[in-house]
Structure 1
Amino acid sequence: MNEIVIQQKERTTDKSKYRVLFLSVLFDFIGTLSFAVPLLGEFSDVIWAPISALLLKTLYKGKTGTIGGIVSFVEEALPGLDFIPTFTLTWVYTYVIKKNN
């Protein structure tokens, strides 16, 4: 009986892990949309930078979320760095690299 409960918890964890991955890819896509609008792009980054930092800090808790939020803010605020998938890289760090350590 205990094994069944543990397996169900693992499935829930996997499901939430992939939900966070989906949101990360979505937020990275939103961050790269500024390339689609030539003159409005850099202005939209000024608006998106604090929003993305807050979203990343909320999505990834603790020190990872705090550092990731700062990196996300800088990446979005500086021109030309919008192509870096900060949310997805944070997911890889959290669920692949950090998990193996």
Structure 2
Amino acid sequence: MNKLKLLAISLLCDALGYVSLFFPLFDFIWAPLSAYLMTKLYKGKEGKIAAVISFIEEALPFLDVIPTFTLMWIYTYVLKTKTQNINA
């Protein structure tokens, strides 16, 4: 998947997380769905760890403001890439 398309999807998923600020019951649907989407968008061990973090972040009240999907995109395409370039 194109990294800019993945960024757009990540931003959309983070925006969906904000819905629960207005409709708190949305978390019951969104928390497990966000974890599932995280594993599909970001593969491997990192994606699974991010899915657990996403589930916890969405399930707990007042943590919805953390842009988990966008942070995972930054980790994958900015931080991890820089680290790989340094180690190469």
How does the TM-score come out when normalised to structure 2? 0.90
Shift of 1:79: 0.6
* CA distance in 2: counterparts of 1:24 and 1:58, whole angstroms: 12
Shift of 1:42: 2.0
Matched residues, number: 83
Q: Percent identity?
A: 52
1:32 corresponds, among 7, 12, 18, to: 18
2:51 corresponds, among 69, 73, 79, to: 69
Alpha-carbon RMSD:
1.0
How does the TM-score come out when normalised to structure 1? 0.79
Match of 1:10 in 2: none
Asked whether 1:85 is paired with 2:71, we answer no
* CA distance in 2: counterparts of 1:42 and 1:74, whole angstroms: 15
| Mapped contact 2:31–2:59 kept (Cα < 8 A) | yes
| Secondary structure of 1:83's aligned partner | coil
Report which structure shows greater RCO (CA 8 Å, sep ≥6).
2
In structure 1, list runs of 5 or more residues that go unmatched.
Answer: 1-12
* CA distance in 2: counterparts of 1:52 and 1:96, whole angstroms: 22
Asked whether 1:18 is paired with 2:4, we answer yes
